[in-house]
Structure 1
């Protein structure tokens, strides 16, 4: 997996965290730098941790499912991407607490990074350099989450659904690319 592909994947994975960060930005009357840093640290940290855990799990079972690993990656990314697209189409506004306490942020960080766990499993099958990948994903999510808090505070809900839609499409396209590569249709 090249740098461009990893960047695109990192952006796709971070869209849930970005969307929640936008909502957190909406929830504060006066945005302070600590709000952006808190969101960035929690969301970026968990977006880095979850693929690492998924990678460790996937590595344990790699020998048993090497023949179908590309199909697993395709299905997992397709499900995650489809779910994000579905969420982007829902009209109901997500209620996000204005609190930045540990309990609230921990729950949000876990909820927005579950999809990264599944991606980590696919990393094991694709023999991705996991240290580089999780660092890149974590840093990308940190930056986008910090930007999301500011954007939410300034622009509101206008771009939340578009971010989720873009993230879902990116993940589905990555899954298709992985499948086509393993079937011999791409380089």
Structure 2
């Protein structure tokens, strides 16, 4: 149980690094603490329902396709990790959307889409659903708040490194899951 909890917290940390890094940029808006609180809660909720939907789909796939679904799950983690690392290394200037109203929903969706993929993988491997969504939601909320608050004080260089770290963690878990099949 402790090992599974540590693994899930590490995965939640890896996924939450997207929210942290984007929060760093958003924090440059000099948001009020009330707005920061609302943004963190919204991101946390999105990091609950996106992996939940993914896990339900993953459990269905696992029941129907067995070992093949396990291999696909490991590959998904690796692809997701590489994509996060790659996007952190790109030097493109992205327009920053204001995290209010519809912009907040777009922001929350964009930083939690990868949690759907991870939820799919965890569903295939039969992870404990309640434990997953609590870990993902709490960690994403805390990392979002940290990114937004730190963004008020720090320069933007931290963001790309945090996303690369998150991608590296997911890549490592993907490799670990595929090792028994090699």
Fold agreement, TM-score > 0.5: yes
Question: Is the CA contact (8 Å cut-off) linking 1:27 and 1:96 kept in structure 2?
Answer: no
How far the C-alpha of 1:68 sits from its partner, in A, is: 1.6
TM-score w.r.t. the length of structure 1 is: 0.90
Equivalent residue runs for 1:1-187 within 5 Å: 2-28=4-30, 31-97=31-97, 99-180=98-179, 182-183=180-181
CA distance in 2, matches of 1:38, 1:79: 31
C-alpha distance in 1, partners of 2:34/2:123? 35
TM-score normalised per structure 2: 0.93
- Local SS of the residue matching 1:2: helix
Unaligned runs of 5+ in 2: none
Counterparts of 1:5 and 1:160 in 2: how far apart (Å)? Answer: 23
* CA RMSD in angstroms, aligned pairs only: 1.5
**Equivalent residues of 1:84, 1:165 under 8 A apart:** yes
Residue 26 of structure 1 and its aligned partner are, at CA, apart by 1.0
Q: How many residues align?
A: 180
Deviation string for 1:36-70 (max 9, x for gaps)? Answer: 21221121111111110001112222222212233
Tell whether the 8 Å contact from 1:62 to 1:124 is kept in structure 2 after alignment: yes
Question: Which aligned runs of 4 or more in structure 1 are off by greater than 3 angstroms?
Answer: none
Can you give the 5+ residue segments of structure 1 that lack an aligned partner in the other structure? none
The structural deviation recorded for 1:124 is 1.4
Partners of 2:47 and 2:112 within 8 A in 1: yes
2:144 & 2:39 partners in 1: Cα distance? Answer: 6
8 Å Cα contact 1:21/1:39 also seen in 2: no
Residue 110 of structure 1, CA deviation: 0.7
Confirm or deny: 8 A CA contact 2:5 2:131 kept in the other structure: no
